Structures are given as C-alpha cells and as structure tokens.
Amino acid sequence: MLEQLNIASEHLSIALERYIHVCLGVRESYTRENTFPKITYQHSRQMDTELATIASYDTQLQRAKLAISQVRNFSLDLVPVHSLPPELVTRIFQFALAPEPHEPDWSQDPKGVGFPQSPDYLAQVCSRWRQIAFASPSLWSHLNFALHMSRYQGHLPRALSYVARASQLPLRLYISEPCEIKQRNPSVFEFIGSIASRVLALEYHSGGIECLAPVLRSLLSNSRAGTLTKLVTNSTSGHLNSFLLTAETWTALDDNGLDNMSPCLDISDEQLEAIFAPLTILHLRAIFPRWGSAAYHNLVDLRLTSAFRYSWSSIREANLVSVLKASPGLRILHFALGIKHRSTEIVAVPLADLEVLNIKTVCTYAKHLEVGSILRLIAPGRRPLRLTIENAVYEEGPSMDETVQFFERSNITRFCAKEGYPPVKRLLPRTLNLEELVFSSCKLTWRANIDLSNDQYRASQSPEPAPFSWYIRESQVDLDDILVFYNDYHPRSLALANCDVYDAEYEEPLTEDELWEFSQSACFRSYEGLSPDPTANWDILD
C-alpha cells in the first residue's frame, strides 16, 4: 500500500506542477499587453468552472491530509501512549473520570446540573481514543438528569446514547430537581422506567418536592429486586421528616402531627422492601425509608443527616438502636439528626468493623444534639477509627462523660474537631494511637472548651499519645494555646492553613513574619489560599 502511495504522490506532484504551469501561462497570455484584457463570456464561464474545480481539489486534498495525519498519529515515536494496550488505556480513562463531584451547587446553578461531558471529551481527542472509549462500556454507565425543561431537553438523546454504549452494564443514575420547578416532561419518567431494572445506584438531589414521587415511582415500580445497592436522597428544601411510603403505610399526618409531605409510591410495601433489601450504601438527607425498613439491614455505609442547619430531622433513640443493630458490619456512619425519647439505660451497639464516624451536632434554632447522646450508643471494635465531630460547646456533665468513655473504648487514630475546640485535656490521653489531629473552622469563642479538666486522671498520670501530625485549618487560634499544647503533647508537625493567629497583646492577627520566631522551634508550615485538607479522603476505605 505504501508503494502505491509513493507512485500516486509522484504522479500527483507531476500533474500539479504541470497544472500550475498552464494556469500561469493562461494568466500571462491575458496580461501580456498593457491594455486591459478583454475576456469573452465563454472564457469567463470557463474560469468560473475552473475555480470551482480547484475548490473541489482543496476539499479532496483535505480528506487525504486527514487520512495521512491519522496514520501518522499511530506512530509510537510521536505518540508513545499508543503503545499501551486498550485495556490499560481504558483503566487510565476511568481514573481520569473519577471521582466526580456530583453534588450540585444550587446557589451557582439553580436549574441543577448538566450532563457529564468527560467521556465525550475523551472520545474527541483522536480516532484511537474514540475507538477505545466507545468500546469501554464502563465509561458510559453514569447518567445525569436535571429536571428542568431548559436543561433536560438535550439530556434525553444523550442518555439514550450513553445507555447504548454502556451495553448491559448496571447504571448509576443521578437526578437533580431544582426549586419551584414549573415544567416537566413525562418522557423523562418513561425513560427512567425503561432503565430501572439496570440501575445499580440512584442519587436524588431535591431542591423541591414536585418530582420526587413520580421519579421514585418510575424507578421503583420497574426496578428488579437485587439490583439497587446504593440509594442517596438529598433534600435541600421542603422536608424535615419525610419517608418513602406506600399506600399501606401512608398517613395524613406525620409523627409530629403535621401534614404529611412524604411521597406515596404506587407499589406495594412488599415490593418496596424487596427492592431495598440488597442495599449496602444508604446516604439519606431528610428523606428516609421507614425506620423499620429492610433498607437499613446489612449496610456498610450509612449516613443520616438533616436538610436544614436551623431545624433538624429526628429519630427516636429506640429506632436508632434498631437501625444500628441491623447493620453489624457497618464501616462508615455519618449522623446529624435529633434524638428523641432517650432511655436512661442503654447498651452500646457493637460495630466491630466501624472505621469512619462523622457526627454533626450544630443546629441554629433547635436544641443541639449532645455528642454523648450518640456516642454512648456505639461500641467500635479495634479497627483504626477516623472520628469527626462538628460541635461548638463541650460542657461538663453526662454528655462529656459518655464522650470520654467512647474515646476510651475506641482505637481513634485520626480525630477532626470542627466549629469548637475540643477539651484536649480530657480526650487526648485516651487516644494513644493518634496519628492525625485536625482542628477545622474553630473559633476563639469556643476556646474555653480546651480548659475542661475535671478528670479522674491527674496530669502526671495521664499517658501521652504517640507523636502525631497536627493540622489547624480556617480557624481562629490563640498563640499561647499553640505553645502550651505543643509543649504538653509534642506533635510531630504542625500545619496552619488560612488561620488567624492572635496573641494576647495584639487585637489583630499576627503576620507571617511575626510567626517566624515560633516556627524555628517547631516543624511548622503555614498556607494561605488553597490548602490541603487532611480529612478529604477519610471516607474512602481500602
């Protein structure tokens, strides 16, 4: 084939040189005299035809150029990545596409989120990448839908092409519903119903309450038991204690005696429970399956949180205990609900595999969740535990005692305190295997927590944790506190990120130069602007 290319190229070069010579000769024959040349109508038409022919040559040469360029791109010297087998290139594509931040920013984009573009971009790089991408079903198994007429009109055709390219792989469906949606297209719900039996994971982010019922009805009514393993419901509006109910379980009033805003699904309770039974990952924000549902059985990742900072969803303590007992193999637990009807006597639920615990207690108007009220229900095993507590106020009393007891019975290796500084004198002596300590978004208003010292341990008797890395992020810090802490616990290193550091003699935060003297006696780093978040990967398990 290359020999034919050489012959054709040589013939083209000779013909092109002759053609150019003739064209120049024609021009010379008409411009030889100084007078303005007279061109007949017939000759003028012939020139028009010739120009059109030249344009067609250019188009054909561009086709030839494209073909030769594509072949040239196969050169391993020019494009070394082409030496990789397709399986490895596909794996690289998967790393490039994930993880993707699917959480919509409602303030920046009130209409929801767009369809994922990354797989399309990969397919546009070159013909080989396009061939590999189209032959890799795993790249096309994630579908995004924004339920807003101006956004999802282009989503449906693209979704159909994604489903076709995903072959028979299970699908991950992400749906966002903006606030006050006024238009919706039944064809979207029909499409959701048509792929329901293949949906492995469903994430529903709701800014309103209009579409939740029809979406879930379309999905769950056509789903097949054993397929759905991950369910995410994220309400940012209109829900406090909403549950996924059927006609058999729906009531006019909710547990608080208010109008029931829970969606009623057009399937039997038995069907719903059969669909929920295989779930292993459950992230719920203000919209929940019933507390006695099979959805809470045998989970490895459970997140129960509220929609609003100023008013919380709630759960009875007995129901929470039942939920925890139903998943003894739980590895990740996030909790930010109010706890009602607490019992005076309770036995902590053994969670031997627990590795991540994230508790949020701050509620603007309602009574704060006391940290000890949730910690007293949990008995982790000996696995290394990553603990995050977002709490403003720590006070002496039963809740503090429960918190201390939790630290004693847990193997905490990473601890992050948000909002308020924790009582380090009470807690750190119980974390002998601590590797990382993080203070994030803490305010000087709550620095009094540090001084809580009503403890059975004497300072001289308190065991000292092993050297650990200490991070303070986006916080207000007292320099004297840093010095005292550093001398008492001897952290391996200290990193300050976007912090205001105050000294007792100054009202304004210290400058970088003023911190320099301190930094000479410690392994000290300071960041401004974009800074590393040591907790970013705490929810990612091996």
Sign of the CA dihedral with 247 first, then 251, 252, and 254 last: negative
In which band, very low, low, confident or very high, does the pLDDT at 511 lie, cut at 50, 70 and 90? low
Determine the pLDDT at residue 329: 97
Tokens at residue 12, please? Answer: 């083209």
In which band, very low, low, confident or very high, does the pLDDT at 151 lie, cut at 50, 70 and 90? low
Residue 13 covered by a domain: no
Residue 278 covered by a domain: yes
Closest CA to 289 of 92, 450, 299, 421: 299
Query: Which of 173-186 are b and which e, b meaning 16 or more Cβ less than 10 Å from the residue's Cβ?
Result: bbbbbbbebeebee
Residue 46 covered by a domain: no
Tokens at residue 536, please? Answer: 């970013």
Residue 311 covered by a domain: no
**Domain region containing 181:** 108-297
Average pLDDT rounded to a whole number, residues 86-101 = 79
What burial class does residue 6 get, using C-beta atoms within 10 Å of its C-beta: 0-12 exposed, 13-18 middle, 19+ buried? exposed
Determine the pLDDT at residue 530: 67
Residue 171 covered by a domain: yes
pLDDT tens-digit map of 110-119: 444 555 567 8
Tokens at residue 399, please? Answer: 């809740």
Residue 247 covered by a domain: yes
Closest CA to 200 of 218, 226, 161: 226
Please check the confidence at residue 300 and state whether its pLDDT lies above 90.
yes
What is the Cα–Cα distance from 385 to 112, expressed in whole angstroms?
A: 35
Average pLDDT rounded to a whole number, residues 169-176 = 88
In which band, very low, low, confident or very high, does the pLDDT at 102 lie, cut at 50, 70 and 90? very low
Query: Does residue 212 or residue 423 have the better pLDDT?
Result: 423
Determine the pLDDT at residue 47: 87
Strands (DSSP E) along 287-337, which ranges? Answer: 287-289, 301-305, 314-316, 332-335
Average pLDDT rounded to a whole number, residues 249-276 = 74
Please check the confidence at residue 101 and state whether its pLDDT lies above 50.
no
What is the Cα–Cα distance from 73 to 89, expressed in whole angstroms?
A: 16
Please check the confidence at residue 177 and state whether its pLDDT lies above 90.
no
pLDDT tens-digit map of 398-420: 899 999 999 999 999 999 999 98
pLDDT tens-digit map of 318-372: 999 999 999 999 999 999 998 988 887 888 999 999 999 999 987 655 566 889 9
Determine the pLDDT at residue 458: 44
Mean pLDDT of the chain: 82
Determine the pLDDT at residue 105: 45
pLDDT tens-digit map of 458-510: 444 566 677 899 999 989 888 888 888 888 888 888 888 888 888 766 666 76
What is the Cα–Cα distance from 100 to 121, expressed in whole angstroms?
A: 15
Tokens at residue 367, please? Answer: 């009574």
Closest CA to 86 of 117, 34, 118, 128: 128
Determine the pLDDT at residue 104: 47
Length of the chain: 542
| Range with the poorest average pLDDT among 26-40, 185-199, 276-290 | 26-40
Residue 538 covered by a domain: no
Please check the confidence at residue 149 and state whether its pLDDT lies above 80.
no
Please check the confidence at residue 262 and state whether its pLDDT lies above 50.
yes
Q: Where are the alpha helices (DSSP H) in 98-203?
A: 118-123, 127-134, 149-152, 155-165, 186-195
Total structural domains within the chain: 1
List all residues 6 or more positions away from 3 whose beta carbon is below 8 Å from its beta carbon: none
Residue 182 covered by a domain: yes
